[in-house]
Amino acid sequence: MDHEPGYEYSQLSCGAPTSPPGSTVNVVLGDMGMNRMTTGIAPVGAHMMLRATPTTVPAGQVNLLVSNMGWRPHELVVLPLPVGAATGERVPGADGKIDESGSVGEVSASCAEGTGDGLAPGTVGWTSLTLQAGRFELVCNLPNHYADGMYQMLVVT
């Protein structure tokens, strides 16, 4: 796995299913300057990242395998991206979160599939979605994580 410069990674304590049918997108979540004592609530301006590879997949079954390599809990929410919109343009509310209306999927269960209480540091979660062609924004929607840069576009062709 390629590591982003300046980020320290926690070691994974579990893995995801191998070779599921369909396309697989590997997503790495991380944070900089954090430690095991941090919470999911991040201050605005913290250095965080969300990196997905590949960033373009064919329509159909898409498996999202998400590794929380950071020291804070994280999650992954998949939101359709409106025509003409760019990633990072959503406006967080007073709670530091963006509107998740229209979400087509989420990964927030540690060492399991689907939704839960958030991916604990050093864990993996996954989900399998059937996606139509379009553009999607992959985000971490814990307080202030989106504002701190945890988003990326996924294009489905």
List the one residue out of 61, 34, 36 whose CA is nearest residue 150: 34
In a domain, 139, yes or no: yes
Q: Quick one: 5 exposed, middle or buried, by C-beta within 10 A (0-12, 13-18, 19+)?
A: exposed
CB-CB contact of 9 with 30 (8 Å): yes
pLDDT in tens, 53-78: 999 999 999 999 999 998 889 999 99
Token pair 């689907």 in the structure block, residue? 114
In a domain, 3, yes or no: no
**Tally of domains in the chain:** 1
Distances (CA, A) of 6 to 9, 33, 51, 70, 98: 10, 9, 14, 12, 27
In a domain, 6, yes or no: no
**What is the domain extent for residue 66?**
23-156
What pLDDT shows up at residue 39? 56
In a domain, 14, yes or no: no
DSSP string, 74-106: B-EEEEE--TT--TT-PPP-TTS----TT--EE
**Cα 56 from Cα 15, distance rounded (Å):** 23
> What global pTM score does this model have?
0.88
Residue segments in the chain with a per-residue pLDDT below the cut of 70: 1-10, 33-40
What single-letter DSSP state applies at residue 108? -
In a domain, 143, yes or no: yes
What pLDDT shows up at residue 27? 97
What pLDDT shows up at residue 1? 47
